[in-house]
Each structure stands twice: as structure tokens, then as C-alpha cells.
Amino acid sequence: MPYVAVSAISHPGLLRERNEDSLVAGPWTLCATVTENPQSLIFPLGTPLAVAVADGLGGHPGGDVASALVVRRLAALGPALSSEVAVRDALNLCNRAVYQAAGGEQGGDLAGMGSTVAGVVVLPDSVLVFNVGDSRVFAASPGDGLRQLSVDDSPPHPAGQVTSLVTQCLGGSLGYRPVEPHVAAEPRAPGERYLICSDGLTDPVPTDVLDKILREHDDGRAAFELWKAAIEAGGPDNITVAVVRVSDE
């Protein structure tokens, strides 16, 4: 039977006191917790399967609350995400839900909380790639190497320089702001895998290193080695990684 394999790991890094990243794979969520060993999950290929990383905004209150809210909403909506329109609508619902939970302009402990999100919805013959913010989705092909599929909502910055600036996210301000999610359908190529991650991986670790790790290791070991590379690069931020592989066997 064709299946989707997901290997995921999430960790606060070396400098942050807590993990404000969250992750969803189908009905399964990992919210603001710490794992040092990859969690491996198998799902049948067929019903739309959402796999995504949400990164709570650092420096804002309730980043962990916002990211958890986003992935839990995607877990509930996931089986209905069969089109680009459905994914875009779901992300707009997530945006409104974050603002509602934050209390809007009334203030409170969660005022201004926000989160980025990036992920894929795996369909029988394609994937829907989506993001709001600077978390990323890559395709890793045996022949073509690593290709970024997501669109960064952040200003350009010199290689190796860590930035937390984003030009749009889910929530993140006192007054409601609509978002324009990036959503695109991509054909699935045989042997292709997908890397979904927060900027705690991509800011300190160069893309060529990510590519090398994915070429040299299978799913679970790749997730571990990617996390390890971020830690060895100083672990300046929360690190969440998901490696997604579709098998048509």
C-alpha cells in the first residue's frame, strides 16, 4: 500500500529558554516540547495529509500558544485540504483564530502573539506547498538536489546573519491584519523527499550542508543530523525539522 513517512524532531536550541515551535503531521501534533530523537510516523497515501511547522514569534508574548493553535487547527482541517483554495482558506482561518485568541486590541498577556507556518499537503498525485512567514519547505530530489519551494516573507540579509524580521505572519500585531498565503501545487517526482523546517535550522546552517545531509542519510537519521548541524552551529533559535517521504510501493 502506498504510504507517507514523516520523521520529525523539535528542540529549543542552545540559547532559548523554551521551545515556541510546533509541528503537525496528519492528526498528530507536537507543541512546544523537546525531542532529541526523531519521531517517525507512517500514514496511508490517499486522504489529504498536512505536515507543517509553525514557529512562534520570538520577542512576542505567547509564541508557543500561537504556534500550537495553528498546528491544532491544521490537524483538524487537514483531511479537507484537497485544493489550493482550501489551503488558502485554512490559513486565513488560522490567522483569524490567532487574533481572536490574543484578545485583539483589548490587551492581555497574549496581545500581539503570532506565528509563521510552512508545510505541505500530500495528495495522491501531487503536493500543495504553503507558507506564511520565513519557515521553509524544500524538495530534495536524488538528481536535482535541494530546491526551496516556499517563499520567504522576510527581507534579504547576508548569509550567516540571523534575522527574526518577517513581513507577514499569522497574528503578530494588536490589530487584525489579513495575510496573503503562498500556496502552490507541485507534481510529485519518484524518490523526492520534502524538508519542512523553522528558521532555527536554515539561519545557522547553509543550504549546501542541508543538501549533503539529505543525500547521505535516510529519513530519521537525516532529521537527527539536521538538528545536530544546527546545534553545532550554535543552536541560536528553536529548531524543528520534518522530513517527508512518499512511497508509491
Q: What domains sit in the chain, N to C, each tagged with a CATH number?
A: 3-247 (3.60.40.10)
Band (pLDDT 50/70/90 cuts) for residue 3 is: very high
**Grid cell digits, residue 142:** 536524488
The residue whose grid cell reads 498546528 is: 71
- Residue 68 pLDDT greater than 90, yes or no: yes
The pLDDT score that the predictor gives to residue 106 is 62
Instruction: Name which residue leads in pLDDT, 154 or 99.
Output: 99
The pLDDT score that the predictor gives to residue 103 is 85
- Alpha carbon 188 to its chain centroid, in Å, reads 19
Specify whether the backbone of 133 is left (phi greater than 0), alpha (psi in -120 to 50) or beta. Answer: left
The pLDDT score that the predictor gives to residue 59 is 65
- Residue 146 pLDDT greater than 70, yes or no: yes
**Grid cell digits, residue 120:** 505541505
Write the pLDDT tens digit of every residue in 199-221.
999 999 999 999 999 999 999 99
Q: Are 111 and 103 in contact (CB under 8 A)?
A: yes
Instruction: Name which residue leads in pLDDT, 71 or 103.
Output: 71
- Residue 191 pLDDT greater than 70, yes or no: yes
- Residue 162 pLDDT greater than 60, yes or no: no
The pLDDT score that the predictor gives to residue 160 is 52
pTM across the whole model: 0.94
What gap in Å lies between CA 14 and CA 24, rounded to an integer? 23
What gap in Å lies between CA 211 and CA 163, rounded to an integer? 22
Average pLDDT score, the chain: 93
Q: Are 64 and 18 in contact (CB under 8 A)?
A: yes
Write the pLDDT tens digit of every residue in 31-57.
978 888 899 999 999 999 999 999 999
Of 138-142, 190-194, 204-208, the range with the lowest mean pLDDT is: 190-194
Q: What is the mean pLDDT of residues 7-28?
A: 95
Q: Are 236 and 14 in contact (CB under 8 A)?
A: yes
